[in-house]
Protein backbone atom coordinates (compact mmCIF):
# COMPACT_ATOMS: atom_id res chain seq x y z
CA UNK A 1 0.00 0.00 0.00
CA UNK A 2 1.39 3.39 -1.00
CA UNK A 3 0.60 6.23 1.41
CA UNK A 4 0.85 9.92 0.66
CA UNK A 5 0.76 13.09 2.68
CA UNK A 6 -2.81 14.01 3.51
CA UNK A 7 -4.03 10.40 3.46
CA UNK A 8 -5.89 9.08 6.49
CA UNK A 9 -3.45 7.02 8.55
CA UNK A 10 -4.61 3.38 8.34
CA UNK A 11 -6.34 2.17 11.48
CA UNK A 12 -5.42 -1.20 13.01
CA UNK A 13 -5.69 -3.30 16.13
CA UNK A 14 -2.53 -4.66 17.71
CA UNK A 15 -0.91 -5.92 20.87
CA UNK A 16 1.71 -3.66 22.43
CA UNK A 17 4.01 -3.71 25.41
CA UNK A 18 1.39 -1.56 27.18
CA UNK A 19 -1.61 -3.66 26.21
CA UNK A 20 -3.88 -4.03 23.15
CA UNK A 21 -4.83 -0.92 21.19
CA UNK A 22 -7.05 0.21 18.36
CA UNK A 23 -4.80 2.81 16.78
CA UNK A 24 -7.24 5.63 16.04
CA UNK A 25 -8.88 5.24 19.45
CA UNK A 26 -5.45 5.25 21.10
CA UNK A 27 -4.54 8.49 19.30
CA UNK A 28 -7.78 10.20 20.32
CA UNK A 29 -7.47 13.93 19.63
CA UNK A 30 -3.69 13.93 19.93
CA UNK A 31 -0.96 14.21 17.36
CA UNK A 32 0.88 10.93 16.87
CA UNK A 33 4.38 9.70 16.05
CA UNK A 34 4.53 6.16 14.66
CA UNK A 35 8.00 4.88 13.88
CA UNK A 36 9.33 1.49 12.87
CA UNK A 37 12.39 -0.55 13.75
CA UNK A 38 14.05 -3.28 11.69
CA UNK A 39 14.23 -5.75 14.58
CA UNK A 40 14.59 -6.19 18.33
CA UNK A 41 18.01 -6.58 19.93
CA UNK A 42 19.68 -4.47 17.25
CA UNK A 43 22.19 -1.76 18.22
CA UNK A 44 20.81 1.32 16.45
CA UNK A 45 17.23 0.56 17.50
CA UNK A 46 18.31 0.22 21.11
CA UNK A 47 19.74 3.74 21.06
CA UNK A 48 16.71 5.17 19.23
CA UNK A 49 14.11 3.79 21.61
CA UNK A 50 16.14 5.01 24.56
CA UNK A 51 16.44 8.49 23.08
CA UNK A 52 12.69 8.62 22.46
CA UNK A 53 12.01 7.56 26.05
CA UNK A 54 14.28 10.37 27.27
CA UNK A 55 12.39 12.86 25.07
CA UNK A 56 8.87 11.62 25.86
CA UNK A 57 8.20 14.64 28.05
CA UNK A 58 9.05 16.94 25.14
CA UNK A 59 6.62 15.09 22.89
CA UNK A 60 3.93 15.30 25.57
CA UNK A 61 4.38 19.08 25.84
CA UNK A 62 3.48 19.25 22.15
CA UNK A 63 0.46 16.95 22.57
CA UNK A 64 2.12 14.09 20.69
CA UNK A 65 1.65 10.40 21.54
CA UNK A 66 4.61 8.19 20.63
CA UNK A 67 4.47 4.55 19.54
CA UNK A 68 7.03 2.24 17.94
CA UNK A 69 6.62 -0.92 15.87
CA UNK A 70 8.78 -3.82 14.78
CA UNK A 71 8.01 -7.18 13.24
CA UNK A 72 9.03 -9.13 16.33
CA UNK A 73 6.54 -10.53 18.84
CA UNK A 74 5.49 -9.24 22.24
CA UNK A 75 7.67 -11.70 24.14
CA UNK A 76 10.72 -10.50 22.22
CA UNK A 77 9.86 -6.86 22.90
CA UNK A 78 9.51 -7.51 26.61
CA UNK A 79 12.87 -9.31 26.73
CA UNK A 80 14.49 -6.39 24.87
CA UNK A 81 13.16 -3.56 27.07
CA UNK A 82 15.60 -4.21 29.98
CA UNK A 83 18.48 -3.73 27.54
CA UNK A 84 17.01 -0.44 26.32
CA UNK A 85 16.61 0.73 29.91
CA UNK A 86 20.13 -0.28 30.90
CA UNK A 87 21.97 1.08 27.87
CA UNK A 88 20.22 4.45 27.91
CA UNK A 89 19.63 4.82 31.67
CA UNK A 90 15.89 5.22 31.12
CA UNK A 91 12.63 3.44 31.83
CA UNK A 92 10.67 2.61 28.67
CA UNK A 93 7.60 4.81 28.86
CA UNK A 94 5.79 4.33 25.55
CA UNK A 95 4.40 1.26 23.75
CA UNK A 96 6.05 -0.95 21.16
CA UNK A 97 3.67 -2.69 18.77
CA UNK A 98 4.13 -6.43 18.25
CA UNK A 99 3.78 -6.89 14.49
CA UNK A 100 5.02 -10.42 13.87
CA UNK A 101 2.34 -10.86 11.18
CA UNK A 102 3.59 -7.66 9.47
CA UNK A 103 0.07 -6.23 9.35
CA UNK A 104 1.14 -2.71 10.39
CA UNK A 105 4.33 -2.92 8.33
CA UNK A 106 2.32 -3.67 5.22
CA UNK A 107 -0.41 -1.09 5.92
CA UNK A 108 2.27 1.59 6.20
CA UNK A 109 4.58 0.22 3.47
CA UNK A 110 7.46 -0.30 5.87
CA UNK A 111 8.94 -3.32 4.09
CA UNK A 112 11.20 -2.30 1.20
CA UNK A 113 12.24 -5.59 -0.44
CA UNK A 114 15.30 -4.17 -2.17
CA UNK A 115 16.63 -3.12 1.24
CA UNK A 116 15.39 -6.16 3.20
CA UNK A 117 12.69 -8.71 2.50
CA UNK A 118 11.94 -9.24 6.19
CA UNK A 119 12.89 -6.20 8.27
CA UNK A 120 11.18 -2.82 8.24
CA UNK A 121 13.08 0.26 7.19
CA UNK A 122 13.21 3.16 9.68
CA UNK A 123 9.91 4.79 8.78
CA UNK A 124 8.54 7.87 10.55
CA UNK A 125 4.92 8.99 10.35
CA UNK A 126 3.60 12.12 12.04
CA UNK A 127 -0.18 12.06 12.21
CA UNK A 128 -2.44 15.01 13.01
CA UNK A 129 -5.51 15.06 15.27
CA UNK A 130 -7.58 14.68 12.09
CA UNK A 131 -5.85 11.29 11.60
CA UNK A 132 -4.20 12.52 8.40
CA UNK A 133 -0.53 11.89 7.66
CA UNK A 134 1.38 15.15 7.97
CA UNK A 135 4.94 13.90 7.44
CA UNK A 136 6.73 10.77 6.27
CA UNK A 137 10.45 10.05 6.57
CA UNK A 138 12.31 6.89 5.56
CA UNK A 139 15.81 6.06 6.77
CA UNK A 140 17.90 2.98 5.94
CA UNK A 141 18.42 0.44 8.69
CA UNK A 142 22.01 1.60 9.20
CA UNK A 143 21.19 5.24 10.00
CA UNK A 144 19.77 6.27 13.35
CA UNK A 145 17.21 9.04 13.35
CA UNK A 146 17.63 12.54 14.78
CA UNK A 147 14.73 12.85 17.21
CA UNK A 148 15.55 16.48 17.93
CA UNK A 149 14.85 17.12 14.25
CA UNK A 150 11.56 15.25 14.53
CA UNK A 151 10.58 17.53 17.42
CA UNK A 152 11.54 20.56 15.28
CA UNK A 153 9.36 19.31 12.43
CA UNK A 154 6.43 18.86 14.83
CA UNK A 155 6.85 22.48 15.95
CA UNK A 156 6.69 23.55 12.31
CA UNK A 157 3.69 21.36 11.49
CA UNK A 158 1.71 22.57 14.47
CA UNK A 159 2.56 26.20 13.82
CA UNK A 160 1.70 26.08 10.13
CA UNK A 161 -1.52 24.17 10.82
CA UNK A 162 -2.83 27.10 12.86
CA UNK A 163 -1.34 30.15 11.13
CA UNK A 164 -0.91 31.23 7.49
CA UNK A 165 2.86 30.76 7.55
CA UNK A 166 5.60 28.42 6.42
CA UNK A 167 9.01 27.82 8.01
CA UNK A 168 12.29 28.52 6.20
CA UNK A 169 15.41 26.38 6.00
CA UNK A 170 16.93 25.51 9.38
CA UNK A 171 14.04 27.19 11.20
CA UNK A 172 13.90 26.75 14.95
CA UNK A 173 11.00 27.51 17.29
CA UNK A 174 11.04 31.26 17.92
CA UNK A 175 12.65 32.25 14.62
CA UNK A 176 10.92 34.41 12.03
CA UNK A 177 8.58 32.60 9.66
CA UNK A 178 7.45 33.09 6.06
CA UNK A 179 4.08 34.48 5.05
CA UNK A 180 2.44 32.00 2.66
CA UNK A 181 2.14 33.16 -0.98
CA UNK A 182 -1.67 32.91 -0.89
CA UNK A 183 -1.80 36.05 1.28
CA UNK A 184 -1.19 39.38 -0.44
CA UNK A 185 1.31 41.80 1.03
CA UNK A 186 -1.51 44.23 1.80
CA UNK A 187 -3.46 41.57 3.68
CA UNK A 188 -0.31 40.34 5.40
CA UNK A 189 0.34 43.81 6.83
CA UNK A 190 -3.09 43.68 8.45
CA UNK A 191 -2.99 40.05 9.55
CA UNK A 192 0.51 40.00 11.01
CA UNK A 193 0.49 42.85 13.50
CA UNK A 194 4.12 42.32 14.51
CA UNK A 195 5.09 43.51 11.03
CA UNK A 196 6.47 41.94 7.88
CA UNK A 197 9.89 42.10 6.25
CA UNK A 198 9.83 41.93 2.46
CA UNK A 199 12.90 40.30 0.88
CA UNK A 200 11.23 39.52 -2.45
CA UNK A 201 7.59 40.01 -3.45
CA UNK A 202 7.14 36.28 -2.85
CA UNK A 203 9.43 36.03 0.21
CA UNK A 204 8.07 37.89 3.23
CA UNK A 205 9.07 37.24 6.82
CA UNK A 206 7.16 37.93 10.02
CA UNK A 207 7.89 37.15 13.68
CA UNK A 208 6.46 33.83 14.81
CA UNK A 209 2.75 34.54 15.43
CA UNK A 210 2.31 32.40 18.53
CA UNK A 211 5.28 33.83 20.45
Give catalytic residue positions: 45
Count CA atoms within 13 Å of residue 141 on its CB side.
19
E-strand ranges in 104-143 read 122-127, 133-139
The full DSSP string for 140-168 is -TTS---HHHHHHHHHHHHHHHHSSEE--
CB under 8 Å to 191, separation ≥6 — which residues? 164, 183
E-strand ranges in the chain read 13-16, 21-22, 31-37, 64-70, 96-98, 122-127, 133-139, 165-166, 177-179, 197-200, 203-206
Alpha helices in 66-109 (DSSP H): 74-88, 103-107
| Rounded distance between C-alpha atoms, residue 106 and residue 126, angstroms | 17
Amino acid sequence: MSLRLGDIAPDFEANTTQGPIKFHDWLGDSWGLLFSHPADFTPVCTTELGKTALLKGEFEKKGVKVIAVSVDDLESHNRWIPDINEVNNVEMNFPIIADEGRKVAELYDMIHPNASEKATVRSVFIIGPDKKIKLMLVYPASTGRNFTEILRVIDSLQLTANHSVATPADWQDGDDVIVVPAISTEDAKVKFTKGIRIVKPYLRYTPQPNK
